Amino acid sequence: MKLHREGYRILGLSLAAFLGLSFLSYYLFNAMVFYGFVSLFTLLYVLILQFFRVPSRNITAEPQQVICPADGKIVVIEEVFEPEFLKEKCQQISIFMSPLNVHANYFPADGKVIYTQYHPGKYLVAWHPKSSTENERSTTVIETMEGKKVLVRQIAGAMARRICFYAKTGMKSSRGEELGFIKFGSRVDVFLPLEAKIHVNLGQDVKNRKDVLASL
């Protein structure tokens, strides 16, 4: 397991701040306060470290299967109309990522990126019905070799204040390669063709690159 590059700066600044405050507490307060602060710092730093962790996982899905782009819990499986790019009815699967989940996101399907767009917006809680259209978000559309389209939308939540996405229009999409990163609690929506066969259930915990969302 390694740490994601998006966390290097935050981890460095956090370490510097906590060490500085620890030294201050050592000189200004008694030993009990100092050790209490160090214990709290250690706990908080471990939480930040686990947030930016990137577990090593192997993809075992079949070629026509769409893999999970994110760790988290399946909170939505429904038929909806996607208005931004596809402009047709699709099957939507939403994965909610708590602050304890891995927050790196990955391409769920092989193909070519035919559309990318970043949208600034609000910071409603990630499970709010309007978060998919009103929150800060990014949209990436992949077209498979068979001409089927898979739309992936990263959505910021109430705690998440920055979406990082690396997809560019025209680039090749390979399952399991990095799509982006969302900092501190968020959601990923995947829009699939109506004929796709869904392999996950509502409320299921899923792992990126490991679990299969659907077959196209």
Mind telling me the catalytic residues? Answer: 186
CA 212 to centroid of chain Cα atoms: 16
Which residues are CB-neighbours of 23 under 8 A, at least 6 positions away? none
Which one-letter DSSP state was computed for residue 145?
T
CA distance 53 to 45: 12
Quickly list H helices, the chain. Answer: 8-28, 31-51, 131-134
Q: Which of 139, 143, 137 is nearest to 182 (CA)?
A: 137
In whole angstroms, give the CA distance from residue 126 to residue 21: 33
Residues in the chain: 216
